[in-house]
Amino acid sequence: MREVYLYIIVMALVIYAIRAVPLVLIRGEIKNPFLHSFLHYVPYVTLAALTFPSILTAADTLPGSVAGFVTATVMSLRNRSLLMVAAGACLAAYLTELIVSMVF
């Protein structure tokens, strides 16, 4: 067996443990108001921190990334569907880069 598989097994075990331990240990609703509120807010903060500013370097150029960011923000605020927002962001970035590369 290649040594690579040892690394792969260790990786898989550690990562799965991180994901599984809270789900198995925390049964039932958390009654403590602070913790309850804390866990309610976690997704918003995590996703916002993952998105920004990373989204500004997601496409190959800044104009493309900004176009994707603005498009996704506007479409989300206008309550477009998930698929539309995802597709809109990609398309806006791609078209902007295409236009910028043709103009300059």
Partner 1 sequence: MILPMEKTASEFKEGLRDGIPICLGYAAVCFAFGISASEAGLYPIETAIMSILSLTSTGQFAALPLITGSATLFEMAAMQLIINLRYLLMSCALTQRIRPETPVPQRLGIAYGVTDEIFALSVSRKYPLNPAYTYGLTVISALGWSLGGFFGTFAGDILPSNLTSCLGLAIYGMFLKIILSDARENNTVAAIIVITMVISLIFTYAPVLRSISPGFRVIIITIAISAAASLIAPYKEEEGAGA
Q: Restricting to residues 27-56, name those near partner 1 by CB under 8 A.
A: 27-30, 33-34, 36-55
Q: Could you tell me the smallest distance in angstroms from the CB atom of residue 92 to partner 1?
A: 8
Q: Is 82 among the residues that bind partner 1 (CB under 8 A)?
A: yes
Q: Is 62 among the residues that bind partner 1 (CB under 8 A)?
A: no
104 vs 101: CA distance, rounded Å: 5
50 vs 46: CA distance, rounded Å: 6
Q: Is 80 among the residues that bind partner 1 (CB under 8 A)?
A: yes
Number of residues that bind partner 1 (CB under 8 A): 75
Q: Could you tell me the smallest distance in angstroms from the CB atom of residue 102 to partner 1?
A: 13
Q: For residue 46, what are the CA distances in angstroms to 41, 68, 92?
A: 9, 20, 25
Read off the tokens for 83.
Answer: 């698929």
